[in-house]
Structure 1
Amino acid sequence: MIQGRSPISARSDNSEMDGAESSEITKLQRQLRIMERDRQTYNFQAREQIRKQQQEIEKLMREQEELHRNLGACKNSSRQQRDNEDGQSLQVLLEQRDVIEEELEKERQAQKQLQKEILSIEVKLAEVRKGAASSSDKQRSEAGRTLKAMRTLEYKLDRVFTRFNEQLAKNNRLKEELQTLHIERVRFQQLRSRLNKELQEVHKSIGQIINHSTAAYDGRAEAQTKMSTMKEKAEKDRAHYNAEMKELERIFSHEFSTKDFMSIKGRKLTEQDDDHEMTPRQISVLKEQKVDSGEESLEALEEVFERIQAVMGEDNLDLLVNRFIQAEDRNFALFNFVNEQNNEAETLRKQISQIQKQMEQLQLEGLQREQQHRSLLRGIEEQRKEYESQAETYENQANAESRILDEIKEGVNSVLFKMECDRSLIDDKL
């Protein structure tokens, strides 16, 4: 016959069961406190990490805005387009912020519900401790529910730790990307500074070339003006010289005619004096010789003398001779003047030839300077195109960095959403 257990052994089993349940409850409470402390530590670390990342993002955004402003000085149209894109992206971010705030509010409600469950479990644990003297079946049931709740909490804690580790890995990756962006930003600033210096040198060279070209054009215009003035002066001097030469030729012709007439008249008067001293026989012989030799007759000479008197208006022969001598002196002086004028004209022709050579040399130098100016302008134009291409490349890099920053912002928003953190401190900045 099977005997039942004694009351002492039953009480011993109950006491052992109560001790096991008490130790299990104590263990669960200790795990619960550890989980709560880990959760608080995790939340604090996550908030601190998010705050640092947000500061870094704000710094990068300020630097990005500065880069956009600097790039906008080179290309206004691209800056306007970028501003429009930034406005659109900002609108999209605001819409995303609203959606994330709604999800965050839902998650906060879920977190509050979880807190309520934890408090309920703690209350139940307290009731379990207080009701340890109740029946073993009720204790087992409560202990089972407590164990189930603890397993649920452990599962949730494992999920939280998993998400925390994933977020830490993502944060490390974002840190590396931020460091890369910092390095690229430093390189970009150095390159931008070098390009600005080169652009200033190019502008300075262009200014010097323009000044040289202006001076060359001014010198060329001055030389052309001087040459035209000297040409006009040379033409006037030549016309004056031709007029004076014609006048002198006319005077010479008149004086030579007068000289010939006076010499003929003087010779005739001398012959008349000789005729008074000769015998009639000699005079007749001389007349025959003159007629035979073809010399002019006395009547012809008298006719010429009468014409001279009619022209000169003077009957005195001595006075006519004195006038002839004076005319000879004047003709000699005029001849010397003509020689001086010829020498001066020759000097002017040499000066004109020299000025023409100088003008040709100036024109040649002007053409050479113009060719050099055009060549330099072509080189400057090529450099300008190269700088514009580089600026466009850097602008593309800046846009790529902007996209990376947008991705970082999305990652931070995702972290905030997953960590159930309060975003009230950074909503205005976003």
Structure 2
Amino acid sequence: MNHYLQVQKAHLNEIDEQIKMVKKRVLDISSKQITDEQMHQRVIKGEKTVHTLENKLEVQIKKFCAISAHNVKLRQEIQHLLIERTEFNKIWDKLINNLCIGKKFMLDLIEQATIAYDQREEWVSKLQFLRSKAHNDLIVHIQEMRVMQRKRDNDEKLQEFFAIKGQKRVMRDLEEKKLKRRQQNRENLDLQLERYISIMEEIKEFTGTQTIGEIAKQFLDQEEVNFGMFQYVNYLNKEMEEISDELGSLHNDIDEQNRLHMMREGQQADRLDRLEHEYQQAEKEANDKGQELRNVDQKLKTIMTGIGNLFRMFRCKNDPLIQLLGHNETINNYNVLLYLEILEKNIQEALVSVFFREKQLHDRKKLKVEQMTIPEIKSIPVIDQIENIVTTNPCPLCIEHEQVSDVIDVLQHPLNKAQIQESLLKKMELNLALDKLHNVSACHLPKSRQIIQKRYQ
């Protein structure tokens, strides 16, 4: 019985403990229960938090739109700089090629001029040597001719002497002949004396003197004068011979210069033809570039007209521009960036307002996500150019090396369009296909270094 009472007391105590714990839990729950005032305050606080978060979201959206617009501008500027870089590289390569061609042409001209100058000195020295040799040979020949002429005269005199001495004498009537000869000699001497006397008289009459000494003196003086004149005539003849030699050499030089002139005239004519051909090509390129420039100007005018239409469509205000440009509202190349800046700002504001209105409509009317306030305009998809997908062209040296190294011992035929596409797809599927998309300066082949060295020589 006592044991039963103890057990019952224990159960009662345990029940009391459980009752206390339940009361305590009830008190805790009652203390944690939210009243209507607290619920109202919590709702007000939640609405404020939602409004604050919406404001922050709107600010972040505006910042995001501004950053997106700035990114678009930067992307356009980067694309423009890439295009300018490509054009600059083309112009640079063209100028380098022209410089290399000019250097090669200049080196050829210098080499030809050096060879011509060296040959000129050589031929001038040879001509001088031949001229001096010809002059010496002429002097030796003249001396030999004079010696031979003297020998010939001497031989003629000896021949005449021996012919006279070799005649056979006839001794008949020798005395009579001697007498006749003496008489004849006397008569001849008398005649000669008379002639000499008459000549002397004429000389006296001519000179106006009667003494023979004076006449002899005048004769000696005149003989000296005549000898001087003879020497002068010989000197003039010698100078005439030298002048004739110089004239001959000058005629040869003139002929050589005429030949050089004709050769240079031919070269200059060829060069003029080449320059005329280059001028025609340059003029054709200039006309093509001028046509491209006119097309670009026409496109720019169309773009500026579109900018003006958008400017009026979005009802942009140009008051700052009027103050800056002086009441000149025409859009041109100089103020188009200012109009674009204002237009871009208004477009951003319009996008933000449209986004905000779409959000309000979505919250109020429970619109679908696909439904927009402004209907989407379906435009033709823009096909990107290859320069926008791949930043560079395939390396010509690597392609040439691949084609040269591809040795096939069968007859080759040109590929058609389908075969070319199939071959290109096979090459693009290879792992090393993208390694060939680089410039010549980044190529690892030895020939690229040679080309770069020639470019900077």
Q: Which has the higher contact order (CA 8 A, sep 6+)?
A: 1
TM-score normalised per structure 1: 0.36
Q: What's the TM-score once normalised by structure 2's chain length?
A: 0.34
**Which structure shows the bigger proportion of residues in helix conformation?**
1
